[in-house]
Amino acid sequence: MSAMGGGPIIADAPRDQPTLARMTSFLGTALGAKAA
């Protein structure tokens, strides 16, 4: 449902790394995940 709008979609554009890192650490903390 990307047709909802949300701004331009740009093929292969990088994700915002600080946000991606925060999402990952948030989930990892809640789940007690440990990187190999």
Output the smallest distance, CB 32 to another protein, in A: 7
Backbone torsions φ then ψ of 4, nearest 5 degrees? -65, -10
Write out the binding residues for another protein, residues 1-36 only, by CB under 8 A.
1-16, 18-28, 30-36
- Cα–Cα distance, 25 to 23 (Å, whole number): 6
Output the smallest distance, CB 12 to another protein, in A: 8
**DSSP 3-state of 19:** helix
Output the smallest distance, CB 11 to another protein, in A: 5
Q: Is the distance from CB of 21 to CB of 28 less than 8 angstroms?
A: no
Residues at the interface with another protein (CB under 8 A): 1-16, 18-28, 30-36
